[in-house]
Amino acid sequence: MSVSPAVPTTHARQPNRGWYRRNEIALTPWLFLILPVAFFLTYVVVPIGQSFWISFHQWDGLGEATWVGMDNYNRLLGLGDQNIDRKFETSFWNNIRWLVLYLLAIPMGLFIALFLNQTVTGIRLYKSLFFFPFVISQVVVGLVFSWFYLPNVGLFEIITGFFGLEIRGGVLGNPDTATYGIIAAGLWPQTAYCMILYLTGLNAVDSEQVEAARLDGAKGWRMLWFVIIPQLKPATFIAFVVTIIGALRSFDLISIMTNGGPFGSTRVLSFYMFEESLSEFGFRMGYGAAIAVVLFFIMLGFIVYFLWSMWQDEKGAR
Amino acid sequence: MFPTPIAKRSRSAQLSYQAFLPLALILWLLPLLAVALFSVKPGADFANGNYWGIPSSFDLFSNYGMVFFESNMPRYLMNSLLITIPTVIGAVALSSLAGFALGIYKFRGNLLIFFMFIAGNFVPFQILMVPVRDLTISMGLYDSVMGLVLFHVAFQTGFCTLFMRNFIRALPYPLIEAARVEGVAEWRIFWYVVLPLMKPALAALAVLVFTFIWNDYFWAVVLTQGPNAQPVTAGITEFNSQFRAAYHLMSAGSIVAALPPVAMFFLMQKHFIAGLTLGAVK
């Protein structure tokens, strides 16, 4: 008589299973991880450490690197008897401008999402078309906006000229306005991104709660503030994360629209770093790496906060 | 639903909403519409100061023909494809492996490795720039499509692993246990049980990575130079210096460069948005 087939087959082979088979469940994750982790270590984790190392050297990228200790940082931040690097100062404050103003994308995105959160014919197409700017590369966004801002003939000047406003040298030619002009261009796709996050979030808002609040007489702003926005918290968190990262990564737009000018007034740290390391003025890799490290530390504050929030979620999920 | 559905409002509110929608859209897309207008104008219009008026003649074919047949644009587009497609395949493949390992198994260091992938994602590119450029040069891959692909695969693996792992986490675990009881080898569980269920995630990631990589500019500038490996985002600047102040050609070029991800988005909209809004709803 044969016994039931499901279990015995595995049981019968148990004694002579190989080492691999016995440890299969412990080994498999590592076999699966080898390649992705190796790639990620080589191209992301190790280079971070190398950048720190390079930032203590003077190096043109070709010959021998000379150890200079904290010299790069002293020169950059004006420590010791050095004066602070003026270009660094401009870049740093521009980074702050980017950070603060870029966050406007979040309320603007929410506003558009609320505007579009209706069911009328063709609304789906409207939503996708409003999202459009995010899909286009920043290079093209930069080009489009630099034509929009063209002095004298650009659409922007025509519109502002209509109201009697004139910016000398055009938006991008004037050191006082150039950075704001670029940030406005960056806000365009970023707002679209926040909008799509909020549209998805609004879809998931608990309609029973909304109805209940409505019965209690809540509407308009109070409804939005006390009922809707708390439910949109996950969307807001992601919008915050992507906007902060986007603001600190701003490079493409600056490179395309002004290339750092006029008179270096639109530089940000990421652009200044690139300029120092790879520009025609010579390769100053050590100094560039030091700028990158400073940028990294600014980012690190946010990274730690993001990771901490995600960690809390993970613990909650367990 | 919030705000109050327009259907419950007065007739006049409905009508004004319907009328305002296209208006708002035109306003929102104004810069793009302007470029589209530029790209069908003849060059003479710009010389005559007719920037925003009606085109004096409709030159769509000659402008775009110029882009496709008398510039390096086709070469750049080809490079972009050669960079983007292998990156999509590589990053999605690697991250499915990593996502499976991190989503299914409990082992020491699991969360640590997972958080390494997430953290790496947030890092500013500039801190990787000098060492990655160096590494690429020392491998003899500077100014080659391969050099860019390898880096992009590695970097995108971070984001994709986050996505994959969370997706796999949400799959019904008893399915895997059942397969184990049946004595199915672990790699077969991955291949025959988990992978078929991951199709939506694979599609979402594929379109997202396609768009990210196609639109990349920074690494294109850092790791390549010249038409033999540069993608279209970097090539467009060369194109623009070739046709300096020829706005009709520059805008036609920009539209061509922007089109592939746009097409991807409209074809795969559902997956694209599912990928982007991951985590926006709990």
CA distances from A61 to A99, B131, B138, B243 (A): 31, 10, 12, 33
Here the ipTM equals 0.90
Q: In A, which residues are within 8 Å of B100 by CB distance?
A: 32
CA-based nearest residue in chain B for residue A277: B130
CB contact under 8 A, A39 and B30: no
**CATH number, domain at B227?**
1.10.3720.10
- A 10 A CB-CB count for A165 gives 9
Q: What share of chain A is helix, strand, coil (3-state, %, to 5)?
A: 70, 0, 30
Based on the domain organization, do B81 and B51 belong to the same domain? no
Based on the domain organization, do B158 and B29 belong to the same domain? no
CATH dotted code for A87-283: 1.10.3720.10
Based on the domain organization, do B28 and B97 belong to the same domain? no
- Report the run of H or E that residue A57 belongs to, with start and end: strand A57-58
Host domain of residue B18? 6-61
Q: Is the peptide bond before B22 cis (omega within 30 degrees of 0)?
A: no
Report how far residue A198's alpha carbon sits from residue A80's, in angstroms, rounded to the nearest whole number: 48
CA A260 from chain centre, in angstroms, equals 20
Based on the domain organization, do B73 and B151 belong to the same domain? yes
- Is B1 a domain residue? no
Smallest CA–CA distance, residue B135 to chain A, in Å, is 9
What 3-state DSSP class applies to A122? coil
CB contact under 8 A, A202 and B2: yes
Residue A138: CA count within 13 A, CB half-sphere: 23
- Is B282 a domain residue? no
What 3-state DSSP class applies to B49? coil
Number of domains in chain B: 2
Q: What are phi and psi of A163, to 5 degrees?
A: -90, 10
Based on the domain organization, do B162 and B268 belong to the same domain? yes
User: How big is the A-B interface in CB pairs under 8 Å?
Assistant: 293
Residue pair A271/A255 in contact (Cβ under 8 Å)? The answer is yes
CA-based nearest residue in chain B for residue A285: B130
Q: How many helices (H) and strands (E) does chain A have?
A: 18, 2
Report how far residue B133's alpha carbon sits from residue B123's, in angstroms, rounded to the nearest whole number: 16
What 3-state DSSP class applies to A66? strand
Which of B61, B78, B105 represents a domain boundary (last residue)? Answer: B61
Take residue A183 and report the two structure tokens written for it.
Answer: 């940030």
Report how far residue B277's alpha carbon sits from residue B204's, in angstroms, rounded to the nearest whole number: 11
- Is B281 a domain residue? no
pLDDT per residue, tens digit, chain A (318 aa), is 444 545 444 444 555 568 887 888 888 899 999 999 999 999 999 999 999 999 998 888 777 888 888 888 988 888 877 788 889 999 999 999 999 999 999 999 999 999 999 888 888 899 999 998 999 999 999 999 998 888 888 888 888 888 888 888 888 888 888 999 999 999 999 999 999 999 999 988 888 888 888 888 887 888 888 888 999 998 999 999 999 999 998 899 999 999 887 888 999 999 999 988 887 666 888 889 999 999 999 999 998 998 898 888 877 765
Q: Could you say which of B113, B155, B279 has the minimum Cβ distance to residue A44?
A: B155
Based on the domain organization, do B91 and B132 belong to the same domain? yes
Based on the domain organization, do B13 and B142 belong to the same domain? no
Based on the domain organization, do B41 and B91 belong to the same domain? no
Based on the domain organization, do B249 and B132 belong to the same domain? yes
What 3-state DSSP class applies to A302? helix
